[in-house]
């Protein structure tokens, strides 16, 4: 199966078996074990793993073996989970299709001629086709929710600060967030139990009371108030996708929720705001890859400046270089106020739109993507067309709120995801709504035939 899907950059069979044997010993000794003990959880290859190759799907880090593990990996290991391998992604998590990987393109298990979404395409594909029970990904502008939608699995982006980013290779630090993939909502809740919580190693990690997320697995949404932002259902959404999402919203209403359409007026500025802030932060974060400290270094260079330029030119792929240049331009003298500073102000307006909406609604719902998974190569020649794949997801990262993709139907045999959006640190409401939807539908039980 892996030879057709190509979900993994690195497979760690022996490590997984060693971890599984440790769980077997615990069981034989009558020890109490975690619900995740022995469960294979794949990890996106931009999350550091001690002693295991971590590349961010870039030539720049092709031989990098971290001397430490990310906090989320340590927490999963403490819960007894096993690591089957490191999954493929768009280079440095920059992309919406996993076609920007420096190594190979991951395929969608529902149709291997189509993309799995990005940037966490390897993690979503691995869970969708059964090569892992669960997985971790990262989400900067939709990179968990989009591939979850395209591959027909659960994908959860927690509130910014709810999960430690320590050990996550940075793309845009004010937007990046680690979260889980799973085949059902129960497994998603168990993973959130394991990875959420304050971490002193991450200065942006929030101090909050972490609940037992399985308490929210209740088949009841009677009285829940749901808003549907009209901007997310407007022109540009594929008619088939809109029809499936409207049907899913009707199911939620039939289960006792009250539903009404609402507005998030600054949504139209979200894409341009994101593509100023994210590249600006990427420009800063990726400055560390210079051929001196670690990673790739170009050969046959005449002096240190030549080495810097050739290393970065040869080590980074086209999309990463495009975003570094965009970000550097936005931060440059004479343009900082006109572009980056203005984008930060609009980001605040977008957050305030959500704040006002959540004064009235318990959660918001929308499509995850304007389309189902597109064909490999279909959008690689048009970066703007590719960026538009994230039009429904990026606002949540700008606002820092939690978001979730759940399978809600199919268009011409390809999965469609319903996006649930919640208040800061109100992951529980999303889980309750998702669990209720799941218990009253069969979409999550569908499995691709390979």
Q: Which residues are catalytic?
A: 44, 119, 143
H-helix or E-strand spanning residue 85: strand 85-87
Identify whether the C-beta of residue 283 lies closer than 8 Å to the C-beta of residue 327: yes
- CA 447 – CA 410 distance, rounded (Å): 12
Long-range contacts of 377-383 (CB under 8 A, 24+ apart): 377/99, 379/97, 380/97, 380/99, 383/319, 383/322
> How many residues would you count in the chain?
450
> How does DSSP assign 140-204, residue by residue?
SSSTTHHHHHHHTSEEEEPPTTSB--TTBPPS-TTT--EEEEESSHHHHHHHHHHHBS--TT-TT
Look-up of token digits 């600060």 = 161
> How does DSSP assign 324-386, residue by residue?
HHHHHHHHSTTTIIIIIIHHHHHHHHHHHHHHHHTTT-SEEEEES-SSSPPBTTSSTT-HHHH
3-state secondary structure of 15: helix
- For residue 140, give the nearest of 41, 238, 44 by alpha carbon: 44
CA distances from 365 to 46, 260, 362 (A): 29, 10, 10
| Exposure class string for 389-398: b at 16+ Cβ within 10 A, else e | bbbbbbbbbb
Identify whether the C-beta of residue 37 lies closer than 8 Å to the C-beta of residue 81: yes
- CA 426 – CA 434 distance, rounded (Å): 13
250: its two tokens: 């009707």
- Which residues, including other chains, have CB under 8 Å from residue 297's CB and lie 6 or more apart? 291, 307, 311
Identify whether the C-beta of residue 148 lies closer than 8 Å to the C-beta of residue 188: no
Half-sphere exposure of 389 (CA within 13 A, CB side): 30
């Amino acid at each position: 199966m892996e030879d057709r899907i190509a979900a993994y950059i690195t497979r760690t069979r022996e490590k997984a078996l060693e971890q599984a044997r440790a769980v077997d010993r615990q069981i034989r000794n009558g020890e109490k074990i975690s619900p995740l003990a022995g469960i294979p959880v794949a990890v996106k290859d931009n999350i550091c793993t001690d002693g295991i190759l971590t590349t961010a799907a870039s030539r720049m880090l092709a031989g990098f073996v971290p001397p430490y593990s990310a906090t989320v990996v340590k927490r999963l290991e403490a819960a007894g989970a096993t690591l089957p391998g490191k999954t493929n992604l768009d280079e440095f998590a920059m992309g919406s299709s996993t076609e920007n990987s420096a190594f190979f393109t991951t395929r969608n298990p529902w149709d291997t001629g189509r993309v799995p979404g990005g940037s966490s395409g390897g993690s979503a594909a691995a869970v969708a086709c059964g090569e892992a029970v669960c997985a971790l990904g990262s989400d900067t502008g939709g990179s968990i929710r989009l591939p979850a939608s395209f591959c027909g699995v659960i994908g959860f982006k927690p509130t910014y600060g709810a999960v430690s980013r320590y050990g996550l290779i940075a793309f845009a630090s004010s937007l990046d967030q680690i979260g889980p993939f799973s085949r059902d909502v129960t497994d998603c809740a168990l993973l959130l139990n394991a990875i959420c919580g304050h971490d002193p190693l991450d200065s942006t990690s929030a101090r909050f009371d972490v609940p037992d997320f399985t308490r929210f697995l209740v088949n009841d949404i009677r009285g829940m108030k749901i808003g549907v932002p009209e901007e997310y259902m407007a022109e540009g959404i594929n008619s088939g996708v809109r029809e499936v999402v409207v049907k899913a919203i009707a199911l939620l209403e039939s289960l006792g929720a009250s539903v009404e359409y609402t507005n998030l007026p600054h949504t139209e500025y979200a894409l341009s705001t994101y593509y100023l802030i994210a590249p600006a932060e990427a420009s800063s974060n990726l400055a560390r890859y210079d051929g001196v400290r670690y990673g790739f270094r170009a050969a046959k260079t005449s002096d240190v400046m030549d080495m810097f330029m050739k290393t970065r030119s040869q080590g980074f792929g086209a999309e990463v270089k495009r975003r570094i240049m965009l970000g550097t331009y936005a931060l440059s003298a004479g343009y900082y106020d006109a572009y980056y500073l203005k984008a930060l102000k609009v980001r605040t307006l977008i957050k305030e739109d959500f704040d006002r909406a959540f004064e009235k609604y318990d959660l918001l719902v929308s499509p995850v993507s304007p389309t189902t998974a597109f064909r490999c190569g279909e959008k690689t020649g048009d970066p703007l067309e590719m960026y538009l794949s994230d039009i429904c997801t990026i606002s949540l990262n700008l606002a820092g709120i939690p978001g979730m993709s759940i399978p809600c139907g199919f268009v011409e045999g390809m999965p469609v995801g319903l996006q649930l959006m919640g208040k800061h640190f109100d992951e529980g409401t999303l889980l309750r709504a998702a669990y209720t939807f799941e218990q009253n539908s069969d979409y999550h039980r569908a499995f691709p035939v390979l």
